[in-house]
Every structure is written in structure tokens, then in C-alpha cells.
Amino acid sequence: KNEVEQSPQNLTAQEGEFITINCSYSVGISALHWLQQHPGGGIVSLFMLSSGKKKHGRLIATINIQEKHSSLHITASHPRDSAVYICAPHPNYGGSQGNLIFGKGTKLSVKP
Amino acid sequence: DAGVTQSPTHLIKTRGQQVTLRCSPKSGHDTVSWYQQALGQGPQFIFQYYEEEERQRGNFPDRFSGHQFPNYSSELNVNALLLGDSALYLCASSLLGRTSETQYFGPGTRLLVL
């Protein structure tokens, strides 16, 4: 079983829709990243959070450490949000950071 | 302030050859991590360098080696290339031990092994 599970794997939405991407993980973590990867390959870190909720523009990320679950929400989605969104926890079983583990990503396509 | 840079952007090699990929971290960062991302998959951790030493390593064979220089830049070397080594290789930089710091990713080097 993968240590990080994301759902859905693929998501198609109409412009303006509210989008939720879920991430569940099985290891203890110190923090969790949500990353955005565009077709060129470059990765941008959207959020790093260890508790509660963070908001940046139309993006909201939440995490429940006890339930080992995080969600990424996009409000008023736009075609430029089309990308692969990757959940990447920082495991703490190694006692240190740096070796992020990654979900397989959720491919989002927002249609105009 | 330059972010993380990687070179080359694309590379084509044949089986059995050796390749060297390069990464310059974000200004002020001292730690470099390397990841391999196969097509359609999430990245996999290869190793991390700090103070010119390999600090942690993922589940990759010894054909994958690296180096960090005094200016914190890093190289990833892969010997005896296999077809399965074809992937996007990502470098990320961070500050060691700073739990409040995020990792900054470079644009990646896309390696194709024929």
C-alpha cells in the first residue's frame, strides 16, 4: 500500500466550479506540502502546513494530523488552474526532514 | 534572487552511458535534495546533500551518486544508464532543520535513455 494516497487521480471541472483534492497518508509527519506541477515539469510549492488551515488567494489547504488527511480546495476554478497537484508529506520516522514522500498526483483540467 | 536552477534542461543518452546533472540551490539555502519522477508518477526521493555529504538516501542503487560543492551546488551522477532511468530529475533546495521552511524546486532535467 502506498504511504500517500490522493483522490481523485483525474478531475475535469467547468470554469467557476469549487474543487477539492484529497490526500491521505499512513506515516507520522512533521508537515505536508501541496505542490503544483505544470506540463513543462516545473514544480511550485503552494502550501506547507502542519496544522489547521492556510489560504492563499483562491486556494485553501487544510490538514487533520490526527486523521492523517489533508485537502486542497480551489474556489472559482479557472483554466489556468489546470495542472497536476501533488501531496507531499514530510515523514518524521527518519527523525529529519528533506526526504519528502509524494502522492501520484491529481491531474486537474478546468474547461472554459 | 535566483531560484533553483538545473542544467541541462533536456538530455538524451544511450544505455550504458553515464550522465551528470547539475543543480544550483536558491540563494541562502544549504541543502539539496534530488528526486526522480517517472512519467505519470509522483517524484521519488533519491538522496539529500548537506555540508558536502550525503545525509539521507532513498531506495536507489549505487549507480546513482552525487556530490555537493562548497557553494552548495550539487551534481547527480548516474552510471551504466538503463532504459528505466528515463525520467524527469528534480532538484529541490531548503535550509536544513528549518521546519518552517518550504522546499523550492528547480525546473527539472528531462533524461531520455535510448
**What tens digit of pLDDT does each residue of A35-65 get?**
999 887 788 889 889 899 999 999 999 999 9
Closest chain B residue to the Cα of A42, Cα to Cα: B107
Instruction: Give φ, ψ of B84 to 5 degrees.
Output: -70, -5
CB-based contact (8 Å) between B107 and chain A?
A: yes
B45 vs A: CB within 8 A:
yes
Instruction: Give residue A94's pLDDT.
Output: 55
Q: Which residue stretches of chain A have pLDDT < 70?
A: 1, 93-98
Assess whether the previous peptide bond of B107 is cis (omega < 30° from 0).
no
CA B56 – CA A77 distance, rounded (Å): 38
Write out chain B residues lying below 8 Å of A43, CB-based.
43, 90, 92, 105, 108
pLDDT, tens only, B51-104: 899 988 888 999 999 999 999 999 999 999 999 999 999 999 988 755 446 778
Sheet containing A106-111: which strands, arranged edge to edge?
A: A10-14, A106-111, A83-91, A29-37, A43-49
CB-based contacts of B110: which residues, under 8 Å, 6+ apart? A41, B9, B10, B11, B87, B88, B89
Q: Take residue A74 and report the three cell numbers written for it.
A: 480551489
Of B43, B55, B105, the CB nearest to A45: B105
- Are the beta carbons of A30 and B99 separated by less than 8 Å? yes
For chain A, the three-class secondary structure string (H helix, E strand, C coil) is CCCEEEECCEEEEECCCCEEEEEEECCCEEEEEEEEECCCCCEEEEEEECCEEEEECCEEEEEECCCCEEEEEECCCCHHHCEEEEEEEEECCCCCCCCCCCCCCEEEEEEC
Mark yes or no for CB contact B107/A105 under 8 Å.
no
pLDDT at B98: 58
Partners of residue A97 in chain B, C-beta under 8 Å: 94, 96-97, 99
Q: Are B13 and B84 in contact (CB under 8 A)?
A: no
pLDDT at residue A22, rounded to an integer: 98
Per-residue confidence (pLDDT) for residue B24, from 0 to 100: 97
pLDDT at A101: 87
pLDDT the model gives residue A30: 83
Q: What is the pLDDT of residue B38?
A: 92
From first CA to last CA, the distance across chain A in angstroms is 37
Give residue-wise pLDDT tens across range B15-56.
999 999 999 999 989 999 999 999 888 899 899 998 899 988
